[in-house]
Amino acid sequence: MTPADIRDEILDILEDIAPDEDLGELKDEVAFREQLELDSMDFLDIVMELRKRHRVQVPEEDYGELASMHSTVTYLTPLMKDLQKA
Amino acid sequence: MPRDFLKGASDEYDVIVIGSGLAGLTVANVLGRAGHSVLLLEQHYKLGGMATWFKRPGGHIFDVSLHGFPYGMIKSCRRYWSQEIADSIVPLKGIRFENPMFSLTTTYNREDFTKLLTSQFKIAPEKVAEFFDTARGMNFYDDQSMTTGELFNKFFPGREDVHRLLMEPIVYANGSTLEDPAITYGIVFSNFMSKGVYTFEGGTDLLIQLMQKELKKNGVDIRIRCDVEKINVEDDRVQSVTVNGRTIKAKSVISNANLNATIFRLLGEETLDKQFVEEARAVRLNNSSTQVYMALNPGETVDESLGDLFFTSTAEEFKTDLLLSRDVTSRTYSIYYPRTRPEGRPRTLIVSSTNAHYKDWAPLSDEQYEASKQDLIKTTLDHLDRYVPNIRERLAHVEASTPRTFQHYTQHVAGASFGTKFEGLAVSRALPDQVKGLYHAGSVGIIMSGWLGAINYGVIVANDVDALLMKQVGAATQPVN
Ligand SMILES: Cc1cc2nc3c(=O)[nH]c(=O)nc-3n(C[C@H](O)[C@H](O)[C@H](O)COP(=O)(O)OP(=O)(O)OC[C@H]3O[C@@H](n4cnc5c(N)ncnc54)[C@H](O)[C@@H]3O)c2cc1C
């Protein structure tokens, strides 16, 4: 998966998690929490979805890497680059 | 021959969950849904743990712990249970306070509290806003040195009336005191303040019925009357549990039993680090409760101005230890109008709850115990009569429960209603470092207790277990998509 594919995938997961939010305006460099009403359970959901969909493991000490879209994609790129796009 | 409650159960599962409180049910559901084979073992004949109810002749159904929870329950139920469950969650309409310092009715959210604090309590709006923002910004990993009492004194020095308004409901919600870390207060208070207090329309019986349906759909093997005696460990790894004379193997075991009981009764300290054992032993349990359950005669109801939740106290001062004493000065009434169970027979019920210490009730002889229960009922009715005149003539049924009752039904050490104090969270989280594959999920650390806390903690632990099981399957397996 390319960084762009990963970004799409994260958007797709966020749509499930926060169905009431408008994700079209999302700024990649700004923390999710400053733009969306996400709490710590929402971040856990992202982790669980990644594992379910792609068998990617994000250990607890790395949860901080999921702060913004940019940091998430940067963190996931080496972990997901060899995966096939769905 | 006694009935075999494990008839047809396999000898091995991916996961065994001990206990069907809301945390245990949620772990089982999330892992079952993820495709793992799950065995859920409950010692009682009903699922739900503290989330329970009981029926009395005449169509009266009493809820034990359905007094109110935060808005976040809707999201958690939708995600980890079903839309149908989430759709039954509705707001409470009125929360009323009556004590020597003030009397008021509120929707119990930030907007209404800001209005009350600025107009009735004459606090500067900036102070109120700053307090709310501080509370909302608190995280469980923040500094714990400040206590709730210190937090109040920082923002509202000398204003015991304000402290009371801010604290009394939270004391009832989770047994915390002014001496507990401020973060536990801030997190729980902010959860409520975001949108007010919610309840489950249809009652606890409907909730548990819907959860059971969901568990079955997700392939969870549910067994009641299965009292787990032992968790078996070999080479620092969990192997199996001993239950009803059988040994059943599992790759992972999650205990929803009381933290203390899990470590010292089910596990035993032999296999554990000394330091961990010491930390576990030092975990303080939260308090227990007494309740008086009152059913009005069929056809009778009370005016809704009584509120859904009614915090009363006759104590002149506000002290959290007074809220725990057997010499009751404070009571919280939950009023269940016929709308609580729209599908059921129209009934009105009132449940009075007080926080209580197990040690005040444990040593009583049978006779003293019975007399104390009768006294609890009498004083409660005397008190309620002020707000619901002639309450005695209008009652179809009344009975009481005590810390001993809670201990009996859930096997919680000392009948603890709200799990453990804050330090219990770290011990609960550290259990898998002691014994691979063994987890604890259930009310701990104040913030992980209550209906929402227990469900969310169940999800957090299910996530850990799912990660562990995936690792065990090995990296050889291909991605699913
Ligand atoms: C009087 C009262 C009022 C409350 N009011 C509210 C409220 O208004 N709002 C709110 O959010 N929360 C409330 N709570 C708290 C809330 O009910 C609990 O925090 C929550 O339900 C606890 O869930 P749990 O998963 O931790 O486990 P529990 O409900 O404690 O369940 C543990 C389960 O494990 C089972 N078990 C134990 N040992 C074994 C064994 N060895 N083998 C098999 N099974 C075993 C027990 O039988 C039980 O079913 C109240 C609690 C009480 C007591």
Provide the domain limits for residue B428: 12-50+206-284+413-476
B43 lines ligand 1 (CB under 6 A): yes
B442: CA distance to ligand 1 center in Å? 8
Shared domain check, B421 and B279: yes
How many other C-beta atoms can be found within 10 angstroms of the C-beta atom of residue B128?
21
Q: Report the Cα A55 to chain-centroid distance in Å.
A: 14
Identify the bridge partners of residue B310 per DSSP, sorted by sequence position. Answer: B96, B333
Judged against a pLDDT cut of 60, whether residue B270 lies above it is answered with yes
Percent of chain B with pLDDT over 70: 96
Split at pLDDT 50, 70, 90, the class of B320 is low
Mutate which of B6, B16, B65 for ligand 1 pocket (most atoms within 8 A of beta carbon): B65
**Would you list the DSSP string of B157-219?**
TT-HHHHHHHHHHHHHHH---TTSBHHHHHHHHHHHHHH-EEEETTHHHHHHHHHHHHHHHTT
**Rounded distance, CA B56 to CA B50, Å?**
18
Q: Which atom of ligand 1 lies closest to the CA of B21? A: 31
- For chains A and B, what is the number of CB pairs under 8 angstroms? 35
- What CATH number is associated with residue B238? 3.50.50.60
Split at pLDDT 50, 70, 90, the class of B126 is very high
Here the ipTM equals 0.90
> What pLDDT sits at residue B327?
64
Shared domain check, B462 and B393: no
Instruction: Examine the fold and report which residue of B143, B165, B194 is the final residue of a domain before the chain moves on.
Output: B194
Residue B81 belongs to a domain: no
How many other C-beta atoms can be found within 10 angstroms of the C-beta atom of residue B334?
22
B415 lines ligand 1 (CB under 6 A): no
Residue B33 belongs to a domain: yes
Average pLDDT across chain B, whole number: 93
To test the contact with chain A by mutation, choose from B470, B472, B477 the residue with the greatest count of A C-beta atoms within 10 A, namely: B470
Shared domain check, B45 and B183: no
The C-alpha of A28 sits at a distance from chain B's nearest C-alpha, in angstroms, of 23
**Rounded distance, CA B352 to CA B294, Å?**
8
Full 3-state SS string of B141-168: CCCCCCEHHHHHHHHCCCCHHHHHHHHH
Percent of chain B with pLDDT over 90: 84
Give chain A's contact residues with B (Cβ, < 8 Å).
17, 39, 41, 44-45, 47-48, 51-55, 57, 83-84, 86
Shared domain check, B343 and B394: yes
Query: For chain B, how many structural domains are there in total?
Result: 3
pLDDT single digits (tens) B140-161:
778 889 999 999 999 999 999 9
Contact yes or no for B72 and A53 at CB 8 A? no
B23: CA distance to ligand 1 center in Å? 8
Judged against a pLDDT cut of 80, whether residue B97 lies above it is answered with yes
> What pLDDT sits at residue B325?
64
> What pLDDT sits at residue B446?
87
Instruction: Examine the fold and report which residue of B135, B166, B194 is the final residue of a domain before the chain moves on.
Output: B194
CA dihedral B181, B163, B308, B60 (to 10 degrees): 60
Judged against a pLDDT cut of 60, whether residue B476 lies above it is answered with no
Residue B4 belongs to a domain: no
> What pLDDT sits at residue B335?
98
**Rounded distance, CA B460 to CA B480, Å?**
23
Average pLDDT score over residue span B298-308: 93
pLDDT single digits (tens) B350-365:
999 998 889 999 999 9
B39 lines ligand 1 (CB under 6 A): no
Identify the bridge partners of residue A38 per DSSP, sorted by sequence position. Answer: none
Shared domain check, B395 and B293: yes
**Rounded distance, CA B102 to CA B176, Å?**
22
Residue count of chain A, please give it: 86
**Rounded distance, CA B91 to CA B193, Å?**
12
Which residues in chain A are closer than 8 Å to B472, comparing Cβ atoms? none
Identify the bridge partners of residue B103 per DSSP, sorted by sequence position. Answer: B98
Residue B68 belongs to a domain: no
Instruction: Examine the fold and report which residue of B136, B167, B194 is the final residue of a domain before the chain moves on.
Output: B194
Judged against a pLDDT cut of 60, whether residue B481 lies above it is answered with no
Residue B454 belongs to a domain: yes
**Rounded distance, CA B310 to CA B321, Å?**
20
Judged against a pLDDT cut of 50, whether residue B250 lies above it is answered with yes
Name which residue leads in pLDDT, B177 or B212: B212
Nearest to A52 among B34, B456, B477 (CB): B34
**Rounded distance, CA B351 to CA B306, Å?**
13
- Taking the model in full, what pTM does it have? 0.95
**Rounded distance, CA B37 to CA B250, Å?**
9
Judged against a pLDDT cut of 70, whether residue B480 lies above it is answered with no
> What pLDDT sits at residue B328?
66
Which residues in chain B are closer than 8 Å to A83, comparing Cβ atoms? 479
Average pLDDT score over residue span B270-289: 94
> What pLDDT sits at residue B477?
47
B448 lines ligand 1 (CB under 6 A): no
Shared domain check, B44 and B27: yes
**Rounded distance, CA B21 to CA B50, Å?**
7
For the record, the structure tokens of B222 come out as 């549910």
Which residues in chain A are closer than 8 Å to B72, comparing Cβ atoms? 39, 41
How many other C-beta atoms can be found within 10 angstroms of the C-beta atom of residue B284?
13
Average pLDDT score over residue span B211-236: 98
> What pLDDT sits at residue B25?
98
> What pLDDT sits at residue B322?
64
| Residue type at position A1 | M
Q: Measuring CA to CA, how many Å separate B98 from each of B36, B81, B119, B305, B357?
A: 51, 37, 18, 13, 24
**Would you list the DSSP string of B365-406?**
-HHHHHHHHHHHHHHHHHHHTTTSTTHHHHEEEEEEE-HHHH
B479: CA distance to ligand 1 center in Å? 38
Average pLDDT score over residue span B415-420: 86
Mutate which of B256, B309, B439 for ligand 1 pocket (most atoms within 8 A of beta carbon): B256
Which residues in chain A are closer than 8 Å to B467, comparing Cβ atoms? 51, 57
Shared domain check, B293 and B397: yes
Look at ligand 1, atom 41, and give the residue with the nearest C-alpha.
B228
Residue B75 belongs to a domain: no
Split at pLDDT 50, 70, 90, the class of B475 is very low
Shared domain check, B118 and B184: yes
pLDDT single digits (tens) B41-90:
999 999 999 999 999 999 999 999 999 999 999 999 999 999 999 999 99
8 A C-beta contact, residue B246 and residue B6: yes
**Rounded distance, CA B22 to CA B17, Å?**
12
pLDDT single digits (tens) A49-83:
999 999 999 998 899 999 999 999 999 999 999 99
Which residues in chain A are closer than 8 Å to B470, comparing Cβ atoms? 51, 55, 57
To test the contact with chain B by mutation, choose from A13, A48, A62 the residue with the greatest count of B C-beta atoms within 10 A, namely: A48
Helix (H, G, I), strand (E, B), or coil: what is residue B94?
Answer: coil
Kindly state whether B473 is in contact with chain A, defined as any CB-CB distance less than 8 angstroms: no
Contact yes or no for B470 and A51 at CB 8 A? yes
Which residues in chain A are closer than 8 Å to B479, comparing Cβ atoms? 54-55, 83-84
Residue B384 belongs to a domain: yes
Q: Measuring CA to CA, how many Å separate B230 from each of B9, B19, B239, B260?
A: 18, 13, 11, 14
Which residues in chain B are closer than 8 Å to A53, comparing Cβ atoms? 480-481
Shared domain check, B146 and B210: no
| Residue type at position B8 | G
Shared domain check, B320 and B267: no
Shared domain check, B271 and B187: no
Average pLDDT score over residue span B100-118: 96
Q: Which helix (H) or strand (E) holds B33?
A: helix B22-33
**Rounded distance, CA B387 to CA B383, Å?**
8
Least confident of B15-24, B107-116, B231-240, B444-453: B444-453
To test the contact with chain A by mutation, choose from B36, B75, B439, B469 the residue with the greatest count of A C-beta atoms within 10 A, namely: B75
Least confident of B94-108, B402-416, B446-460: B402-416
CA-CA-CA-CA torsion sign (B7, B12, B15, B18) = positive
Q: Which atom of ligand 1 lies closest to the CA of B49? A: 49
Shared domain check, B386 and B292: yes
pLDDT single digits (tens) B182-219:
999 999 999 999 899 999 999 999 999 999 999 999 99
**Rounded distance, CA B177 to CA B446, Å?**
11
Which residues, at least 6 apart from B138, have a Cβ–Cβ distance to it below 8 Å?
B182, B183, B186, B187, B190
Percent of chain A with pLDDT over 70: 99
What CATH class does A3-20+28-80 carry? mainly alpha
Residue B359 phi, psi (nearest 5)? -65, -20
